[in-house]
Amino acid sequence: MSDTLSPTLQLAVELIRRPSVTPHDAGCQKLLTERLQKLDFKVTDLPFGEVENFWARRGTAGPLLVFAGHTDVVPTGPEEHWEHPPFEAAVIDGVLHGRGAADMKGSLAAFMTACERFITKHPNHKGSIGWLITSDEEGHAVNGTVKVVEYLESINEKIDWCIVGEPSSTHTVGDVIKNGRRGSLGANLKIKGIQGHVAYPHLADNPIHRAAPALHSLASEHWDEGNEFFPATSFQISNINGGTGATNVIPGELDVMFNLRFSTELTADIIKERAETILNSHDLNYEIDWRLFGIPFLTSEGPLVEAAQKAISQVRGIDTTLSTSGGTSDGRFIAPTGAQVVELGPINATIHRVNEQVLANEIDQLSDIYETMMEYLLLD
């Protein structure tokens, strides 16, 4: 099969066949770094805990264009439910099947072949090219990109432009690029009452009854209007747990989990203050543990967005839509350093699902888009 595949598809197949379920890398990064070293990249391995990461750079001058991504994939679920084994990496009738085909081993392969072609043609390009790769994007994301960025900041390594290979496209490759993401703020809320018998409610204090009006207030709060690039902030309750399992016992505690996806109109501190003001207004006895998963970021304009738009138009003959929709990505760790960040990758329809797949020719088109972006950004 490899004799009939393009170089990009061959590499994608090799990567998918390594079962790198978070946080394991399964040899993917070694495969990538060996090829990068042949292109004169200086590679620095940056393991943290059980997570493997690497930083690679070719050149010393600015500007610095970085390809960022992850080698880890989510679990497959029951493999018997897959039409093709998830780590077989079958290419059938022009479709690449396998866990990671879209998220994001197809992008990693496209990164690599784009760099190989560009550097072969333009060995003396201006600026520098970097790679920032982790095996902890699909997991807790505590020992991956965030730690590599801290390392880069400590040595004053500044990224100017960053292309994240997350699957951004909707109907055809390049039709959507993410030029920002909403922030994500989660909370574990514990509301305390007094346990008792349901027949004697005056001797108990039902935390579920107390919580209901407060949760309604939080859910109906108008947090902001959003703006040109972001929708209005949304509040969603994701889990509620209380009670002993018996129908005749008033519970003593209620646990609630909720999340806010917020725009650049708000900060996490403002949200916390407003939420706790609402909770306090309902005279609750509560504890709340907040976790900030990421702050909102936006690259509204500039050379990187322009290069992406021009490259997509040149390679695909289509206009692209800028979007900030969807969940979080590792771009949230890179953008605060001052870097311009865009996410550009395959169609996202099957990510994290059984039978993950992409059209094979779209991986090649993606490689051409990346190469063309480098030409716009790193050639005089």
Nearest CA among 320, 348, 28 for reference residue 166 = 348
Chain-centroid distance of CA 7 in Å reads: 26
Which residues, at least 6 apart from 212, have a Cβ–Cβ distance to it below 8 Å? none
**CA distances (Å), origin 237, targets 186, 193, 206, 267, 281:** 10, 20, 20, 19, 19
Catalytic residue flag (residue 343): no
Chain-centroid distance of CA 23 in Å reads: 15
Nearest CA among 203, 17, 162, 6 for reference residue 97 = 17
What amino acid is encoded at 244 in this protein? T
Whether 55 and 132 have beta carbons less than 8 Å apart is answered as yes
Residue of 25, 52, 72, 136 marked active site: 72
Whether 76 and 351 have beta carbons less than 8 Å apart is answered as no
Write the DSSP assignment of 102-144 as a string of letters.
Answer: TTTHHHHHHHHHHHHHHHHH-TT-SSEEEEEEES-TTTT-SSS
What is d(CA 202, CA 213) in angstroms, rounded to the nearest whole number? 20
Whether 333 and 70 have beta carbons less than 8 Å apart is answered as no
Residue of 103, 116, 137, 330 marked active site: 137
* Largest interatomic CA distance in the chain: 82
Catalytic residue flag (residue 93): no
**CA distances (Å), origin 127, targets 124, 130, 133, 372, 379:** 9, 10, 20, 16, 9
66: its two tokens: 């970085």
Chain-centroid distance of CA 199 in Å reads: 50
Which residues, at least 6 apart from 248, have a Cβ–Cβ distance to it below 8 Å? 197, 198, 199
Catalytic annotation, residues: 72, 137
